[in-house]
């Protein structure tokens, strides 16, 4: 078995992982591990933009107010305050690292998205913000002597010694085992878990690996019931689904049915710019009544191609002309608000294990994420993680024979693996999707348990999907109310007594699929 010792290990190559690595590379060697290509992340796919209070009529306080309102009384005010006040300086840092945001004359171009009270969304190339930011960060990382990017490497588990996270076990492209040891600490920046669902905008690699690894290691996970379904994925058969950015509605597009009649006036006073959970449930409700839902952007005429070139060309590819045709849309799993519980510096409940980005639960998003706060969260808390990690003294690695691991027989039949994945996705979409119930969740939990007895250990991603899916299901069953991204039709009201309660779960006995739940 290959062993490699470094100062810091970062798992994931999205905005959170890259900014953590670049911040740490000033003081030590960083190894970035990613299981596919370096640009294969949800960050790279992000369209709409990154939110920050940089406009003349904006302020961190107003940004914070919008974030707290959208989070439906479940955000951590300290975390939100940190996010919004570090927003402007984070934009400056991204500029220093080569990110070129769109401008209108001498000023930054600012778009509007749902639940924002002002225009504060910075973007790149109109609708290629994620690609613009991560490309510039990747360029910086590739030219940094202290950063080693290792692609096509599947991290299997965290490696702990005496309760302290000291590294990770992994397999490389040739399926050879590797033990990576960190002198100072490990950072999980593995992204989300959208691929647990049949319909998702998430990159194909987003199978919940970080949540499952942290859970197996004994870390605390929090608020996993809160899944955000983006209202407007392009309704064509593909995985991942192509996102029609919320910024399109911010520019005046409206949701209509097959008769061309607007729908959102019946659901929320903010209509098409209502919070994402409201819009997704509205579309779900209309579809349940056999309506087809479309985005009508014809009022933008030729301006659509200029403002949203990437979306425009994807529509044209599918024979849709946005200046004259309605764009068919459907909700899709997009983001998880919960994750590995951290403090304000990204420290998890396991010493020397940190998390940032979508895999972490910092308390910023509460029950529902404000549009375009995800890239900002990853960038802000990456800096916080690096700040705390930089202060830690290095530990010596004592690797004994019992520390070395033996690989399960890894699956090689991708067709069989895909069959198992589709079964998990179907259960999650039908039983823990946009609208949930006790009956459906109990049935889903039973189906997942049955699958866990059938799928061999060698299907690593499937096993990770199963663990994460079960945690989500059981958290959703526990919360007997509706709030933000969690909606129960058997408990449709948002109840004050649940506002301060968080679902927290840690490993008790994974082998028997038993979960220990702590209520707070």
Please give the positions annotated as active site.
276
**Ordered alpha helix ranges (H), 318-372:** none
Exposed / middle / buried, residue 401 (Cβ in 10 Å: 0-12, 13-18, 19+): exposed
Q: 268: how many CB neighbours lie within 10 A of its CB? A: 17
Torsion sign across C-alpha atoms 229, 230, 232, 236: negative
Distance of alpha carbon 254 from its chain centroid, rounded? 26
Strand partners, 2: 178
Distance CA 285, CA 492 (A): 14
Q: Is 165 helix (H, G, I), strand (E, B) or coil?
A: strand
Six-digit token string for 49: 């933009």
Nearest to 464 by CA among 96, 116, 472: 472
Six-digit token string for 155: 């991290």
Nearest to 340 by CA among 30, 31, 12, 47: 12
Torsion sign across C-alpha atoms 377, 380, 384, 386: positive
Distance CA 207, CA 467 (A): 10
Q: Is 168 helix (H, G, I), strand (E, B) or coil?
A: strand
Distance CA 200, CA 222 (A): 22
Six-digit token string for 133: 């930011």
Asked if 122 contacts 109 with a C-beta cutoff of 8 angstroms, the reply is yes
Strand partners, 295: 255, 327
Determine how β-strand 30-33 pairs with β-strand 514-519: unpaired
Nearest to 421 by CA among 153, 198, 190: 198
| Element containing residue 150 per DSSP (H, E) | strand 147-150
Distance CA 334, CA 365 (A): 14
Six-digit token string for 416: 């069989």
């Amino acid at each position: 078995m290959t062993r490699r010792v470094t100062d810091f290990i970062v798992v994931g190559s999205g905005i959170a992982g890259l900014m953590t690595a670049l911040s740490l590379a000033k003081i030590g060697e960083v190894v970035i591990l990613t299981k596919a290509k370096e640009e294969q992340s949800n960050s790279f796919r992000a369209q709409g933009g990154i939110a920050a209070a940089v406009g003349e009529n904006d302020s961190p306080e107003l940004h914070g107010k919008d974030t707290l309102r959208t989070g439906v009384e479940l955000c951590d005010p300290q975390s939100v305050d940190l996010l919004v006040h570090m927003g402007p300086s984070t934009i400056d840092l991204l500029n220093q690292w080569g990110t070129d945001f769109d401008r209108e004359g001498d000023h930054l171009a600012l778009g509007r998205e749902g639940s924002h009270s002002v225009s504060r969304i910075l973007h790149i190339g109109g609708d290629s913000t994620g690609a613009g930011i991560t490309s510039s960060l990747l360029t910086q990382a590739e030219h940094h002597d202290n950063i080693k990017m290792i692609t096509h490497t599947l991290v299997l588990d965290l490696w702990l010694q005496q309760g302290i996270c000291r590294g990770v076990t992994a397999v490389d492209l040739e399926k050879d085992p590797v033990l990576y040891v960190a002198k100072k600490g490990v950072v999980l920046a593995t992204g989300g878990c959208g691929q647990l669902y049949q319909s998702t905008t998430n990159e194909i690699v987003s199978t919940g690996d970080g949540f499952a690894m942290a859970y197996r290691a004994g870390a605390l996970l929090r608020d996993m019931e809160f899944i955000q379904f983006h209202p407007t994925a392009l309704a064509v058969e593909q995985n991942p689904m192509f996102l029609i950015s919320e910024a399109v509605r911010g520019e005046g597009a409206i949701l209509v049915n097959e008769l061309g009649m607007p729908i959102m006036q019946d659901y929320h006073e903010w209509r098409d710019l209502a919070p994402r959970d409201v819009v997704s449930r509205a579309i779900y409700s209309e579809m349940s009544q056999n309506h087809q839902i479309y985005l009508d952007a014809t009022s933008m005429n030729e301006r659509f191609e200029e403002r949203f070139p990437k979306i425009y060309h994807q529509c044209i590819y599918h024979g849709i002309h946005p200046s004259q045709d309605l764009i068919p849309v459907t909700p899709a799993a997009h983001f998880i608000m919960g994750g590995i519980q951290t403090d304000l510096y990204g420290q998890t409940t396991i010493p020397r294990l940190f998390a940032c980005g979508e895999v972490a639960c910092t308390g910023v998003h509460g029950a529902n994420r404000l549009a375009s706060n995800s890239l900002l969260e990853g960038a802000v808390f990456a800096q916080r993680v690096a700040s705390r990690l930089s202060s830690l003294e290095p530990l010596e690695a004592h690797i004994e024979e019992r520390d070395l691991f033996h690989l399960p027989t890894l699956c090689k039949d991708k067709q069989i693996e895909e069959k198992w994945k589709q079964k998990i996705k179907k259960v999650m979409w039908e039983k823990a999707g946009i609208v949930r119930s006790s009956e459906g969740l109990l049935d889903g939990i039973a189906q997942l348990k049955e699958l866990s007895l059938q799928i061999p250990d060698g299907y690593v991603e499937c096993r990770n999907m199963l663990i994460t899916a079960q945690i989500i299901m059981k958290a959703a069953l526990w919360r007997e109310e509706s709030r933000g991204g969690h909606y129960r039709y058997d408990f449709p009201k948002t109840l004050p007594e649940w506002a301060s309660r968080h679902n927290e779960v840690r490993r008790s006995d994974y082998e028997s699929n038993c979960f220990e739940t702590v209520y707070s």
